[in-house]
A and B are shown apart, each in its own frame.
Chain A
Amino acid sequence: MSDIISVNGTPQRLPDDPRTSLLDFLRQHIGLTGTKKGCDHGQCGACTVIVNGIRINSCLTLAAMHDGDEVTTIEGLGTPDRPSDLQKAFLEHDGFQCGYCTPGQICSATAMLQEIANDWPSDASEDLEGPPQLTGEEIRERMSGNLCRCGAYANIVAAIREVAEKSA
């Protein structure tokens, strides 16, 4: 037990209260409010962050369970001065409206593209063995854990597709 969690490369002391979710730790304790709370029950994806390279709902896990883990939040993916490719593509394609689901969408998409690169299949994959194709259906399926009530899905898919195709 080191009681230390790394957030965007900065070591942080884990909270004393074992009830504190990773989400509340990020938002309330260390002021990283880019990660959003939409439901607190793992139902919306607004709180998606990347832990040791894997996307998770940070509301569904306690901070205390992440001793020694490396967490990347939206603030760690890019900044207003140096936005990531996905952040730029979301802006260009208007992949959001109110912006509340957006950090979760972008964290999710970042890790999702890695999942495709790692050949993880999904429900939309034609073939469980071969590498998944970057179809619209594949992106939609893999992004369906991130709700957007503004209904920006069509633009979200376009933004992700553009980045995926550029890096392919």
Chain B
Amino acid sequence: MTAHMKQDKPDRSNRLDAMKQGVLGKAIPRIEGLAKVTGTAPYAAEYAVDGCAEGVLATSTITCGKVLSINKDAVLGMPGVIAVIDDPKLITRAAQGTADEAPQQGPKTVCYWGQPIALVVAETFEQARDAAKHLAVEYREEEGVPLDPQAVEPEEQEDETVRQGDLAHAMAKAAHTVDVTYTTKGHASAAMEPHAAIARWDGDKLTVHASLQMLNYNISELADALNMEEVDIRLISRFVGGGFGSKLGISEEVVAAAIAAKELGRPVRVALSRQQVFQCIMRRSETTQRLRLAAGEDGRLIGFGHYALASNLPGETFVEPVLQSSHFLYGGENRELMLEVARVHRMTAGSVRAPGEAVGMPALESAMDVLAEKVGIDAVELRLRNIPDQNPEEDLPFSSHKLAECLKQGAEAFGWDSGLRKPRHSRDGEWWVGTGMASAARVHNIAEARARVTLKADGTALVETDMTDIGTGTYTILAQLAGEMLGLAPDSILVDLGDTRHPRGPGSGGSWGAASTGSAVYVACKAIREEIADKLGVQETDLDLAHGTAASGEALVDLLDGKDIVREGHYEPGDIEDDYTASGFGAFFAQVRVNRFTGETRVDRMLGAFGFGRVLNHKTARSQCLGGITWSIGVALTEALEFDPRDGHLVNCDLAEYHVPVNRDVPDLEVLLVEERDPAASPIQAKGIGELGMCGGAAAIVNAIYNACGARIFDYPMTPERVLAAMPD
């Protein structure tokens, strides 16, 4: 039986707070954690499958052109080699998030350096790797294709454009103005688990163990790529070794493994090398951003301009949504926002954790720091003065808004000193020490989702959905939600995720998984409660369940009388999305030290305060924030994809050359969870938290660099040579 809820208005019934189990929100350890710390949690490549052959992708060594021929025979003669597959159905790019259809197919056409062109299959991994390396390929190269985003005529993304009032006029007459241009380099998700898939066929039925974030979309992408029906496909992703956007859509190894397994009549595993993950999955686009801020004497904005240029391959619809939160974060009646895309032949640009805000917010929040200095008011105060009452571009209220609280509580907890705003106020040996802050914002996303909950006759429960846990804590928070609603301890609830046989939802991405699938679990549990209330002859709203017992004294097992209660919950966001602007908000505070002689920046301490609706588990939510802040450090100081200007190939395509923060780069971090209930965000009053923690954090660091040593830098990341060059004498 399916229980359905379409949310057309805020849900103020706030049922969860009336529940009695008292487990929701608690900082309980992850229920799948023991499997992870003992190495017994199986990731995609790790299933023991009899007779599994090993596939290694061969990739292009030209940027653009045609594959004329592949000398298959030469490698087929090598020991153990079984096949060289260059089927036209092979995909040559990863699918964009929520694509729902196959990405570009046809490995004969090369659009970027490092693109997959064939799969070599052998008995062992070593044999396949060797053969792939020796594959002789003849190309016809297309010369002179665009590689530099600055050198091509960009395309405007018209639905992002906003022109309101007269920004030029506001800039001309304002008491204080800022007109600055920032650049950000490309970023890689660099999830620790490289993409991998094991495909096996049983007649016409295909099962794939893969490392994917959004199975419900992935199954249709795969079906489309293989010309199959979804019912003939099963995708399994029980454990995903990090996603960060890179596993939103199906990627090349999934389709290659499926095709090879079919052709060879035996299971095939394909795991990408780390270099291939960098080269042929997704990059976050580099950006160029111009910020124009016009403010009155008191710092209140009268004009706001944000222009951004990003890039992507020809034919890709995704454009880094740089302006996403700029549309509503601050007021200013005269507005001009525009996003453009340059078509270049670098690998696909797509979602990398917090697409948009991850780079838009660092630019905006650095510009706000410049403005605070010009106006001569404290940086926190400047933000407080510019929080709009409602969305400044559309006549929409905010569903909830915790920016002011986050700014104030964060400043207090950090010990923000508004008196120390002149650079070079503190020195410690050869280090300048300073502080900086920034606001955080990340749009709230939610989508239709289904989940099945079974309250078993033995008083335990089962939650089943195709939702994934990519490290976000899904297993645990769904157990807590069901436990709270049904009056059960989380350890008596089995959560079965990551299987397309289960009811489907939107998966993990855009921080929407917890609110979407959590709401489906809520709807299912509410229906089960109604059934129990019926048995007891009371209203559901009068039913108190805790520790397997109703408040009136009956044990759940007795009430169930040997029968399970099964309900599928179906949640749809409805019209509510048109009535509110919903976003998570927060504030970052950082203290850094900058070396006077080398320009090296070290982050001494950092604090983030975040408001994102109900906190479903304080431990895992805090960890999401810690992860986000850690990414902020990377964005601010080290992470940058570097492309060879001659052929557009990615130069630093591994973890030695692309610098994600390491343990010693990350100091003690403090996280304040500013709890709230957002009734418009979801019936569980929760919003997403997977990305908010990195939306603006880099600016707090960069503003702290200025406060420490006086170097204003407009190009991310703030490497030692850039800091040194910008440091005043």
Contact = CB atoms under 8 A, between A and B. Distances in A.
A144 B45 CA distance: 26
B664 A106 contact: no
Interface string A2-34: 000000000000000101100010011001111
A43 B656 contact: yes
A88 B33 CA distance: 9
A154 B668 contact: yes
Contact of A147 (B34, B48, B622, B662): B662
B22 interface: no
B194 A38 contact: yes
A33 B39 contact: yes
A131 interface: no
A43 B655 contact: yes
B619 interface: yes
Contact of A96 (B36, B189, B656): B36
A162 interface: no
Which of A34, A36, A150: most chain B Cβ within 10 A? A150
Given A100-B242, A140-B663, A140-B666, A41 B627 contact: no
Interface string B607-624: 000000000000110111
Given A24-B125, A75-B38, A151-B626, A100 B193 contact: yes
A28 B40 contact: no
B39 A149 contact: no
A75 B194 CA distance: 21
Nearest to A98: B471
B626 A36 contact: no
Interface string A33-60: 1111111110110100000000000000
Nearest to B190: A149
A91 to B, nearest CB: 5
Contacts of B130: 19
A101 interface: yes
Contacts of A99: 32-33, 35-37, 41, 239, 241, 471
Contacts of B243: 98
B47 to A, nearest CB: 9
B46 interface: yes
A150 B124 CA distance: 31
A3 to B, nearest CB: 18
Given A40-B274, A73-B39, A147 B472 contact: no
A17 to B, nearest CB: 5
A74 interface: yes
B164 interface: no
A152 interface: yes
A80 B40 contact: yes
Interface in B19-58: 29-30, 32-43, 45-46, 48
Contacts of B668: 136, 154
A27 B273 CA distance: 15
Contacts of B192: 36, 38, 44, 46, 98, 100-101, 147-150
A91 B666 contact: no
Contact of A43 (B42, B629, B654): B654
B286 to A, nearest CB: 20
Given A33-B46, A40-B274, A149-B191, A97 B655 contact: no
Interface in B371-413: none
B33 to A, nearest CB: 5
A155 interface: yes
A167 interface: no
B125 A28 contact: yes
A46 B676 CA distance: 38
A19 B244 CA distance: 33
A46, A92, A94, A156 interface centre (most CB from chain B within 10 Å): A94
Given A99-B239, A151-B628, A35 B194 contact: no
Interface residues of A, number: 63
B240 interface: yes
Nearest to B240: A98
A138 B191 CA distance: 26
Contacts of A150: 192, 242, 471, 623, 627
A92 B29 contact: yes
Interface string B162-198: 0000000000000000000000000001111110000
Interface in B510-560: none
A91 B242 contact: no
Nearest to A159: B37
A127 to B, nearest CB: 18
A71 to B, nearest CB: 14
B46 A153 contact: no
B126 A17 contact: yes
B661 interface: yes
A122 to B, nearest CB: 10
Given A98-B192, A98-B242, A151-B630, A39 B666 contact: no
Given A41-B274, A106-B37, A94 B620 contact: yes
B663 A143 contact: yes
Given A33-B42, A144-B663, A98 B191 contact: yes
A142 B438 CA distance: 31
B147 interface: no
A59 B47 CA distance: 20
Contacts of B29: 91-92, 94
A28 to B, nearest CB: 6
Interface in B630-689: 630-631, 654-656, 660-666, 668-669
B370 interface: no
Contact of A79 (B38, B127, B626, B664): B38
B470 interface: yes
A87 B37 contact: yes
A96 B33 contact: yes
Contact of B39 (A20, A74, A88): A74
Contact of A154 (B35, B470, B669): B669
A20 B30 CA distance: 35
A24 B39 CA distance: 15
Given A80-B34, A141-B664, A148-B192, A41 B656 contact: yes
Contacts of B241: 36, 98-100
A39 B664 CA distance: 20
Contacts of A32: 39
Contact of A19 (B37, B126, B240, B471): B126
A136 to B, nearest CB: 7
A157 B669 CA distance: 11
Given A74-B39, A94-B620, A97-B471, A27 B627 contact: no
Interface string A98-141: 11111100100000000000000000100000000000110111
A54 to B, nearest CB: 19
A153 B36 CA distance: 16
Contacts of A140: 663-664, 666
B608 to A, nearest CB: 12
A38 B42 CA distance: 15
28 contacts: A34-B38, A36-B193, A38-B192, A39-B274, A39-B654, A75-B39, A78-B38, A79-B40, A80-B35, A94-B33, A94-B622, A94-B623, A97-B242, A97-B473, A98-B191, A98-B471, A100-B242, A124-B664, A144-B663, A144-B665, A148-B192, A149-B660, A151-B629, A151-B666, A152-B626, A153-B663, A154-B626, A156-B663
Given A41-B655, A94-B33, 4 more contacts: A38-B194, A98-B470, A99-B41, A154-B626
Identify the 8 closest CB pairs spanning chains A and B, nearest first: A34-B39, A151-B630, A100-B241, A99-B36, A98-B471, A97-B471, A151-B627, A74-B39
